[in-house]
Each structure stands twice: as C-alpha cells, then as structure tokens.
A and B are shown apart, each in its own frame.
Chain A
C-alpha cells in the first residue's frame, strides 16, 4: 500500500503505519487512526446504544451495578474474577441484585479498584448537562458555567439513584 492511500485525517488519534514511499522504499509514517477517523461515530453509536440499554436494566433492577460496569468496560466474568480475586461463582451472584444486596462493602471495594471508579458510583447513575449518561468515574466533563444544582432521585433499583446536573436557566 502506498503511503498516500493510507492517510487518514484524525488529529486526536495518531498511529504509525508502514507503507511504500514515493521512492519505492518501505517505512513508517504517522497518520490518523482509520477506525477513529472513519468509524468513530459508528463506534460511539454502538457504545451509546449498549449503554442506554444497560442503564434501563440497571434502573429497573434487572442487573446490578457490577454487571453494568463489567460490560461497559468490556470485561467477562472470567476476567473480572481473575482481576478481583473473587471466585467466578461469587462474581456471577454479584451480577444480580440479590447477590449485590448481600455483598460486603469490602468486596465491593475490590470491584471498584479494578473497575477504576469511586465506590460511590456503584450506587448512582450520573447524567451530565448534555443529558448523556455519564460513563465512568473518571470521565465527567461538565461545563461549570452552565451548571446550576444537582438533583438526585430514586430508581426502581433500591441501591441506585439517578444524579443529574440541572442546568442553570437564570
């Protein structure tokens, strides 16, 4: 493949590819990521659909927060068990509301350490002012100038509340 045929315009995600140069030699060059440059909107659409469906299940108490974060971080039961040091049998139980209810806080902390989120976020869904469900514990980007107050309301899941930043309309 010639270098010019591999160029992708994507300044925020750069990669190194190898290609044929004008003089016929092969070598590296830096360009935008094909996936990020061409298909990122599709990728975001997919993850957003998945997230919406999981949020609904979480709010209605069908799944536990552990299940929600496991899926959104692309982990499997095997991987989560391996990473937390909790047996697969117990992880499977913690994916349900009943299992989640019986879990010790110290066990939950083992999950949040691996999932890289604050413990408090196991108990709330945070919506940003753009009305997008906030992804993880480390990603919130809120424009302070437009924010007003925070509202928190119950969901049908006894362990999870919905936290929302209310836009300041004044």
Chain B
C-alpha cells in the first residue's frame, strides 16, 4: 500500500496538532486553538523532585490530556491502545493503515530521524500521525515538519518502544466516532472552567500561578544544580526553547490560547471574551520577554543573583497577571451562566 490522502499541516503543538488533523480528516471542521482551549491545555507547573538532577517547568497540561479532555467534552470517541509486544503493535498499525485509517502514535522524538540530529532530544511524549507505508518505510505527518516525512520501520519502532519516564509503550490512537454536531458552547465553557481551575484552584504550591511564583523564587538557586557555566547556560537557554520553540505557538502557549479566546467569543457571542483574548495576547508578549531575557543572560554568561532575579521578577509579573486574568475569566463564566 502507499500513502493515505491526508491533509498535512504544520501546527504549533504536536498533540493538539495531531488531534486536530485527525478530526479534520474525519470531517470535523475544527482548529488547533479550539482543540487546545476546549481541552484546557493551558497550564503551568514547576517541578523539582529529589530524584531530578535539575528543575523543570511545563506550560501546558499533562501529555495525553488534550485528547482525553477534548473527547470527554465533545463526545468524540478515540480508540487508544498500548502494547507490550512491538511486533503486535506493528501488525495492528499496518492493518489499520491498510484500511486507510491514519493513526496517531506516541514516540520518543529522538528517533524521528527526518529532523536534523542537533534538533532531536530524548522526549517520550511526541505525537505523530502515521499515514501510510511503503516496503520498509512509513509516511509520517509530523506537526513540526513542513512536509510529509518518511521514516524507516526500525526507527519508528524504536521511537514507539523507547523506555524511561512517560514511555510510549507503543501507544496509538485514532477517532472511531465523530458526532455530526457537537455542543460547542458547552464544550468551550467546560474548557474555560477547566483552565481557571487548573491555574487557580489546585492546592499544590508548584502548579498553576502558584507554580509560576515558585519558579520566580527558585530560579536564583539554579546555579547550584549546574555542573559548570556551560551547562547552566544550556539550561537557561532551555527556558527560551520551552517557551518559544518547543511546540508552543510562541509565548508559552499563551498566543495559541488568545486565539482560542477570540474564536470562543464568536461562538458564545460574548464580546468580553474578545477583550480577554487581547489581554491574553499581552500576557503572551510578557512570556516572550522572559524568553528574550533568558536567552540574553545565557549568551552573556552573567548568572549573578541580580540577573537571575530579573527573570524571577518577570515571572512574578506573569503570575500576578495570570492570577487576575483567570479570576476574571471565572467571574465572566459565572456571569454568563446567569
């Protein structure tokens, strides 16, 4: 067999992009921001466990939640499956492809060798859509790649069965039921409510806006975790990568979320949400400032407490603004209900 006709488009984020492309393929006209927003993809977490060599942070919800939350809120049903046996996983993938069913799979990004080597890192939560096969190669629609790519069977299997944290275990999914009409208003409201809860209500000091404040407080401690100046510079550069380049749509997903709010305001016929989308865009601009400041500090190798505090202060401002934003969003939702 060969390639299934599939509209390949680049997307900001691999999971929301994969879900969007699969739904579009199955006839649902939906955008990436709408998928991301309904799934309450916006988030923040600052993590440092004793077992971790270095702290890390996340600006989105847990991998996999975009699909599950979106499905739960819209009535779309996905068939998903993990495997222990790579041969069985490959056989079932091939059978689905032979039936013209594009299939999303979870992989370790490192083995996606259609990207240059310097770009690839070991991260087990990358999602791509397999859209066909030809002899020993598979056609891949990867949201981060401008064209449809090809990968050899061995690399795909390695990627699907990489071990370690968040190991993919051959995970795959595809839609099996897409409702003819979904209650978009209800789904959007649930998505907005979920986002306010995630950002404000989780009673843990490292999640949501509390997590941003923790990051702001702890960034001055980063030098003590680094082996040397080079590795510290690399870690600080990663702030820029995580906010801008690693599939966020820029500004740590905040630009993507602003687009969602703009679309949502039209669906809900709520002009206040349109205003709030502008506020979110400005919040994203602020995250961009964090990125630029981090890149500058890493380049200049000035890791003094004062310089790191500059990033900390920018983060604290983000926390204050997002706390106020999501509090207002919660109020808006409750007004809209009345």
Contacts and interface: CB of A to CB of B under 8 A. Distances in A.
A78 B249 contact: no
B249 A114 contact: no
Interface in A62-113: 73-76, 78-80, 82-85, 113
A33 B245 contact: yes
B240 A18 contact: no
A80 B162 CA distance: 10
Interface stretch (A40-48, A122-130, A149-157, A162-170): A40-48
Contact of B167 (A16, A73, A82): A82
Contact of B249 (A16, A74, A76): A16
A34 interface: yes
Given A20-B281, A27-B259, A74-B121, A34 B245 contact: yes
A109 B281 CA distance: 49
Contact of B162 (A12, A20, A83, A139): A83
Interface residues of B, number: 53
Q: How large is the interface on A (under 10, 10 to 19, 20 to 34, 35 or more residues)?
A: 35 or more
B196 interface: no
Nearest to A78: B51
B308 to A, nearest CB: 18
Contacts of A135: 117
B230 interface: yes
B325 to A, nearest CB: 16
A79 B121 CA distance: 13
Interface of A: 1, 6, 12-20, 25-28, 30, 33-36, 38-39, 42-44, 46-47, 49-50, 53, 73-76, 78-80, 82-85, 113-114, 116, 135-136, 138-139
Q: Which 7 A-B pairs have the closest CB atoms?
A: A82-B164, A83-B163, A18-B255, A26-B259, A17-B250, A83-B164, A18-B249
